[in-house]
Chain A
Amino acid sequence: MIGREEVIRMATLARLELSEEEIELYTRDLNSFLVSGKKLQQVDVSGITGTSHAVSVIHALRRDEVGESLPREAVLAEGPEVLDGYFKVPRIVEGQE
């Protein structure tokens, strides 16, 4: 069983502000998902390596050549708040994990 506290911990990790109803909803959802996970855990995978990439590709590197960067107006164009050529963010408080 996943408890409410675990759900809140996940929401904090994922930086999601949830309402009380959402916390309840996702507590239920996470628990029903556990059934799915438990089913997978029954599968015998001894000696099997995990697949992280669907198709194996060998050489996929690029040469060390400088290409064009975006003009600064384009970089900042979509920024919700910008100042003097920078993106602006509110006060950073450490240790909130």
Chain B
Amino acid sequence: MRELAELLQTGQVSSTELVIACLEQIKQTDGVINAFLTVDEQGALEQAAQSDARRARGEALSPWDGIPVAIKDNISTRGLRTTCASRILRNYHPVYDATVVERLKQAGLPILGKTNLDEFAMGSSTEYSAFGVTKNPHDPARVAGGSSGGSAAAVAAGQVPWALGTDTGGSIRQPSSFCGVVGLKPTYGRVSRYGVVALAPSLDQVGPLAKTVEEAAALFSLIAGEDPRDATSAGAPAFQVPRWNAAVVQGLRVGVPEEFFSSGLNAEVEAAVRRSLRTLEEQGAVLKPISLATNDYAIDTYLTLVTAEASSCLARFDGVRYGERVAAPDANTMFAKTRGAGFGAEVKRRIMLGTYVLSASHYEAYYEQAQRVRTLIKLEIARAFEQVDVIITPTTPSTAFRIGEKRNPLEMYLSDLYTATANLSGICALSLPCGYDSQGLPIGLQIMGDHYQEELVFQVGRVVEASVERGPKVEV
């Protein structure tokens, strides 16, 4: 991206040329990949032309003015269809921009289009998209991961330099890991959620996906910081791309939680992650075995909270103000038919679960219990960060699985085994490629940092990245 920025700066390439190249790549590859739900060819070209004009006048809005970006389709874009990969919103055109989109536009980034996801971000493979699965550019028989599978695949397939995703339990990191790209789940509250269609507001965060750590950091710098329209972002600091300094790992205390290297973990994934850990150690980091025993409850806690919050957040899709409506003689029947027809199976499943755990007679045993276990998880993470500076784990227990392989929803939920803890505790976590398995599939490594420690996480990520050999180039 630094190269792209420099090329734009020196006039060796124009934004229009970049957008055309992206559109060309999408045309060539997206028939297979299905990363995009909407490509805004005309809009992107217009924004690119404006960017070129600004550059010509020497009035670039940012160093990245003119570099196109893709947006996950659960983030509102004014006038540009935002479906959340759901039938119920298949023709929904928001009347406003999410804060993150507004900020990218203010930095001069043309919006190339909207990327595929599991319906309302509920899933780990984009198989739950109402508009078809996104395929992994490394192997089209495999999933790209999810829910931000479209964004991860688009970046991996070279359709766009970078993209925004959302992460509620691993939805940026897991697809990043599966597609061999870099993805950050920021500290809760550091990026505005205004305009981001909620899955579980106490867990959701928007974050960047890019090819390199530096690019991810650059995109993050454009979206981070307090937003008066999101009360949960109050006091959140902005972010600037740091001066890169490999010496940061000298004396760095790296926590290695044993629970994340246990029986369910694929051996090749473990080997790759341990190799990176050794590299860090060789460069002066201190590896500290730690225990995060509460991770055993993370998925169950996550599932309870996410379904509860989602059942409430998705109630507004009632066919009155926007979205599809199925006609009926009375309002309640209209609501039920609209929602019954508009939502897919997984969304309905989670609404049912969420309604159950919040209902008066089960609230205490399920929802409240999960909230209290969440406190235990938070406390354990806080204690861990008293002893270590970062925690390193695999991002996922395995590499990308085959399309259709996971039929049982509970099995699918286990994809978030290593990632949900960061959401539950509100800390930041970065996933980046650390090698490839014997089938040539990317392996992801996760670096977790304490609240607002994104800079440290990026610094460490950059060191890991430098030590990892570039894998096979993606062929599509």
The interface of chain A, by Cβ under 8 A from chain B, is 2, 6-7, 10-18, 22, 25-26, 29-30, 32-33, 36-37, 39-41, 43, 45, 48-55, 57-60, 62, 70, 74-75, 77-81, 87, 89-93, 96
Q: 13 A-B residue contacts at CB 8 Å?
A: A15-B339, A18-B348, A29-B349, A30-B356, A33-B303, A36-B300, A48-B375, A49-B375, A54-B378, A54-B424, A60-B232, A80-B320, A93-B331
Nearest B residue to A45 via CB reads: B372
Nearest A residue to B329 via CB reads: A90
Contact between B352 and A57, CB atoms less than 8 A apart: no
Q: A57 vs B352: C-alpha distance in the bound complex, in angstroms?
A: 31
- Which of A12, A55, A89 meets B451, CB within 8 Å? A55
> Which of B357, B369, B423 lies at the interface centre, i.e. has the most chain A CB atoms within 10 A of its CB?
B369
Nearest B residue to A22 via CB reads: B348
Question: Within 8 Å CB of A17, what residues of B?
Answer: 333, 336-337, 339-341
Question: Within 8 Å CB of B322, what residues of A?
Answer: 78-80
Given A54-B202, A80-B325, decide whether A92 and B410 contact each other with a Cβ distance below 8 A: no
Q: A54 vs B189: C-alpha distance in the bound complex, in angstroms?
A: 8
Q: Within residues 220 to 235 of chain B, which ones have a CB less than 8 A from any CB in chain A?
A: 228, 231-232, 234-235
Kindly provide the distance from the CB of A51 to the nearest chain B CB, expressed in whole angstroms.
Answer: 4
Given A57-B189, A57-B232, A60-B231, decide whether A37 and B300 contact each other with a Cβ distance below 8 A: yes
Residues 320-354 of chain B, each 1 if its beta carbon lies under 8 Å from chain A, else 0: 11111101111111111101110101001101110
Contact between A89 and B320, CB atoms less than 8 A apart: yes
Question: Within 8 Å CB of A93, what residues of B?
Answer: 330-332
The interface of chain B, by Cβ under 8 A from chain A, is 92-93, 95, 187-189, 202-203, 228, 231-232, 234-235, 297, 299-301, 303-304, 311, 315, 318-325, 327-337, 339-341, 343, 345, 348-349, 351-353, 355-357, 359, 365-366, 368-376, 378, 409-410, 423-426, 451
9 closest cross-chain pairs (CB), A and B: A50-B371, A54-B426, A17-B340, A78-B322, A80-B325, A60-B231, A45-B372, A54-B188, A60-B234
Contact between B304 and A40, CB atoms less than 8 A apart: yes
- Which of B335, B355, B409 meets A10, CB within 8 Å? B355
Question: Within 8 Å CB of A18, what residues of B?
Answer: 340, 348
Given A55-B451, A57-B235, A80-B325, decide whether A37 and B355 contact each other with a Cβ distance below 8 A: no
Q: A43 vs B231: C-alpha distance in the bound complex, in angstroms?
A: 32
Contact between B426 and A55, CB atoms less than 8 A apart: yes
Q: A6 vs B359: C-alpha distance in the bound complex, in angstroms?
A: 11
